[in-house]
């Protein structure tokens, strides 16, 4: 049992758990910390605390401007503590330290952005068709929010939920993934330091069969914001049949990156490598399907092979490391099985496809490229959530578009071309919530983010996200001094 222990944060207090579990360091495969396993009773306490804070007390009485100031302070604290949070995320998930530091430092901007918007989300005056009435529409917080996030990029994925929810005046119970929850449980310390009233933000972790199920089906939860996979999302949707909670889902995908022959191939190759091998491919927007024009296919794959084989794989805490381990052993085992199946079915292994030499400890897997003749292979159809790129050649713009859209997913996409008209046509035609042209993986708090199809429902980020955490209240005021006529007296 590790000497490093974390606790749930409920109703403004860090609480001792009734049960715990070991968290595994993916770079060694060994336990490094003890995590709290929230029980159904813990979930009930957290939701009830959030409900009390929503209805009475300091949070309920707080002005939008005051809420905004708290969010700005929280953003500043995240930025100031990015180094510590990054080290925890590196230790608990295997993400390399230089990536976690850069990403978490930017997370503070999301809280500052929504802090600035908190008192700028306005209602409306309705010029009603009745002369003796005035009608206003007030945006009010939708209620208690259950935010459920995965282990990867968890501080970012929490910020795009907590930021708009708190700006709107909601209260939140945030469930961190049982795979690598340390950064979010430590983030709770910053929530407390920022001065959020008890119950406004509660942070727990635990397992899906009790903690997750109870949270998303709880009768006091009005909204569920989930990031994860489609199979878990289906269970969550079934759970919300109990409370009819409004639900948004961000579910990842099989994002296509289309490279035309007229593109800057050096730039495109760098973007493709970053899009699939950064974060060891464990990103919801990983560009896992390369669609490359046939006339440049061999040259482009050779470029990618050289770059993939030059990636430095190693200890996540070493600043020289460019790719770390996968987060869990089961993830590596699934990838190994799908890669083997795909190669046996006719895929050509360009590079990788095995555990790196000299990495007996930890959950490492080599950067892998598989050339496919069509999209029937499992590596092309299924989200692997790992460093595996499937490459398919195309002969025309129309074929590239058809291949890009031949998937039940639709989160992100990339297009590389020097032809502006072609770029516009592709951006218009690709069925995805995000289209990056001559770039990849760019994000901003100002821009909505979400997908089509099995990639989810709803959007996160941008101004409209606050509206998704409110409901409208119509207020009718009669302005006439005359008494209301007796409705049963005919005149």
pLDDT in tens, 41-75: 999 999 999 999 999 999 999 999 999 999 999 99
> Quick one: which H or E segment has residue 70?
helix 64-80
pLDDT tens track for 427-443: 999 999 999 999 999 99
By three-state DSSP, how is residue 371 classified? strand
| C-alpha span between 112 and 106 (Å, rounded) | 10
**Mean pLDDT across 177-204:** 97
In a shared domain, residues 13 and 118 = yes
Structure tokens of 287? 């560009």
In a shared domain, residues 191 and 263 = no
| C-alpha span between 122 and 251 (Å, rounded) | 31
Question: Quick check: is 483 in a domain?
Answer: no
| C-alpha span between 91 and 357 (Å, rounded) | 22
In a shared domain, residues 268 and 284 = yes
In a shared domain, residues 119 and 226 = yes
Nearest CA among 167, 255, 233, 162 for reference residue 202: 162
| 333 classed as catalytic | no
In a shared domain, residues 337 and 237 = no
Structure tokens of 334? 């699934």
Question: Quick check: is 442 in a domain?
Answer: no
In a shared domain, residues 365 and 426 = yes
- Residues 6 or more apart from 53 whose CB is under 8 A from it? 59, 60, 171, 197, 198, 199, 200
| pLDDT tops 70 at residue 284 | yes
Nearest CA among 280, 90, 72 for reference residue 182: 90
**Contact predicate 89/180, CB 8 Å:** yes
Using 50, 70 and 90 to split pLDDT, how confident is the model at 1?
very low
- The chain-wide mean pLDDT, for the chain, equals 96
In a shared domain, residues 204 and 127 = yes
DSSP letter for 294, please.
Answer: G
Structure tokens of 65? 């401007």
pLDDT value of residue 3:
60
Query: Position of tokens 């905004």?
Result: 68
In a shared domain, residues 92 and 43 = yes
**Contact predicate 460/113, CB 8 Å:** no
Task: Supply the CATH number for residue 418's domain.
Answer: 3.40.309.10
pLDDT value of residue 338:
97
**Mean pLDDT across 405-424:** 97
| C-alpha span between 394 and 326 (Å, rounded) | 31
Task: Supply the CATH number for residue 131's domain.
Answer: 3.40.605.10
| C-alpha span between 395 and 92 (Å, rounded) | 44
In a shared domain, residues 356 and 420 = yes
- Residues 6 or more apart from 277 whose CB is under 8 A from it? 308, 311, 322, 323, 367, 387, 389
| C-alpha span between 178 and 157 (Å, rounded) | 15
Question: Quick check: is 482 in a domain?
Answer: no
Question: Quick check: is 450 in a domain?
Answer: no
Using 50, 70 and 90 to split pLDDT, how confident is the model at 491?
low
Question: Quick check: is 487 in a domain?
Answer: no
Question: Quick check: is 446 in a domain?
Answer: no
Structural domain for 212, as ranges: 8-250+461-475
**Mean pLDDT across 110-138:** 96
What percent of the chain has a predicted confidence (pLDDT) above 90?
95
The sheet with strand 434-437 has its strands ordered as: 348-351, 368-371, 388-394, 289-293, 256-259, 412-416, 434-437
pLDDT value of residue 252:
85
| C-alpha span between 198 and 209 (Å, rounded) | 27
Question: Quick check: is 1 in a domain?
Answer: no
In a shared domain, residues 235 and 205 = yes
User: Taking CA 470 as the corner, what is the angle to CA 468 and CA 476, rounded to the nearest 5 degrees?
Assistant: 135
pLDDT value of residue 408:
96
pLDDT tens track for 370-409: 999 999 999 999 999 999 999 999 999 999 999 999 999 9
Choose the catalytic residue: 87, 178, 250, 460: 250
In a shared domain, residues 77 and 164 = yes
**Mean pLDDT across 247-266:** 96
**Mean pLDDT across 171-183:** 97
- Residues 6 or more apart from 329 whose CB is under 8 A from it? 29, 363
Question: Quick check: is 486 in a domain?
Answer: no
| C-alpha span between 420 and 257 (Å, rounded) | 17
pLDDT value of residue 298:
98
| pLDDT tops 90 at residue 208 | no
* pTM reported for the whole predicted model: 0.95
DSSP for 2-60 reads -S-B--EEETTEEE--SSEEEEEETTTTEEEEEEE---HHHHHHHHHHHHHHHHSSHHH
By three-state DSSP, how is residue 401 classified? helix
Domain count, the chain: 2
pLDDT value of residue 272:
98
| pLDDT tops 80 at residue 181 | yes
What percent of the chain has a predicted confidence (pLDDT) above 70?
99
- Residues 6 or more apart from 222 whose CB is under 8 A from it? 142, 143, 144, 145, 243, 245, 246
In a shared domain, residues 340 and 194 = no
């Amino acid at each position: 049992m590790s000497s490093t222990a974390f606790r749930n944060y409920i109703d403004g207090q860090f609480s001792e758990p009734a049960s715990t579990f070991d968290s595994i360091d993916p770079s060694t495969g060994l336990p490094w910390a003890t995590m709290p396993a929230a029980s159904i009773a813990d979930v009930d306490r957290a939701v009830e605390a959030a409900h009390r804070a929503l209805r009475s007390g300091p949070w309920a009485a707080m002005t939008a401007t005051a809420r905004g100031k708290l969010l700005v302070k929280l953003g500043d604290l995240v930025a100031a503590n990015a180094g510590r949070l990054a080290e925890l995320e590196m230790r608990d998930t295997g993400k390399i330290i230089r990536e976690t530091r850069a990403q978490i430092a930017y997370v503070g901007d999301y809280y500052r952005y929504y802090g600035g918007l908190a008192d700028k989300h306005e209602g409306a005056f309705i010029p009603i068709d009745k002369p003796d009435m005035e009608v206003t529409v007030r945006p009010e917080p939708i209620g208690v929010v259950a935010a459920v996030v995965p282990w990867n990029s968890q501080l970012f994925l929490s910020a795009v939920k907590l930021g708009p929810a708190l700006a709107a005046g909601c209260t939140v119970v945030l469930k961190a993934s049982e795979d690598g929850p340390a950064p979010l449980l430590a983030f709770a310390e910053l929530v407390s330091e920022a001065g959020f009233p008890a119950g406004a933000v509660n942070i727990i972790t635990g397992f899906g069969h009790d903690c997750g199920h109870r949270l998303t089906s709880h009768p006091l939860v009005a909204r569920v914001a989930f990031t994860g996979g489609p199979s878990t999302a289906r269970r969550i949707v079934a759970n919300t049949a109990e409370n009819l909670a409004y639900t948004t889902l961000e579910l990842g995908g099989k994002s296509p990156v289309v490279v035309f022959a007229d593109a800057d191939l050096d730039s495109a190759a760098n973007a493709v490598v970053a899009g699939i091998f950064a974060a060891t491919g464990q990103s919801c927007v990983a560009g896992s399907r390369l669609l490359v024009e046939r006339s440049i296919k061999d040259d482009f794959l050779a470029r990618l092979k050289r770059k993939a084989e030059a990636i430095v794989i190693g200890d996540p805490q070493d600043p020289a490391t460019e790719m770390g381990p996968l987060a869990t052993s089961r993830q590596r085992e699934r990838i190994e099985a799908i890669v083997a199946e795909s190669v046996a079915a006719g895929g050509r292994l360009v590079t990788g496809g095995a555990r790196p030499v000299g990495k007996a400890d930890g959950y490492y897997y080599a950067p892998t490229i598989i050339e496919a003749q069509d999209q029937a292979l499992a590596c092309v159809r299924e989200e692997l959530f790992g460093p595996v790129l499937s490459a398919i050649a195309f002969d025309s713009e129309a074929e590239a578009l058809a291949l890009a859209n031949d998937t039940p997913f639709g989160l992100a996409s990339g297009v590389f071309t020097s032809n502006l008209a072609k770029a516009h046509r592709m951006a218009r035609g690709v069925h995805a919530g995000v289209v990056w042209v001559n770039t990849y993986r760019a994000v901003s708090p100002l821009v909505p983010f979400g997908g089509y199809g099995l990639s989810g429902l709803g959007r996160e980020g941008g101004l409209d996200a606050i509206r998704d955490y409110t409901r409208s209240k119509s207020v009718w005021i009669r302005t006439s001094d005359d008494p209301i006529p007796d409705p049963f007296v005919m005149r």
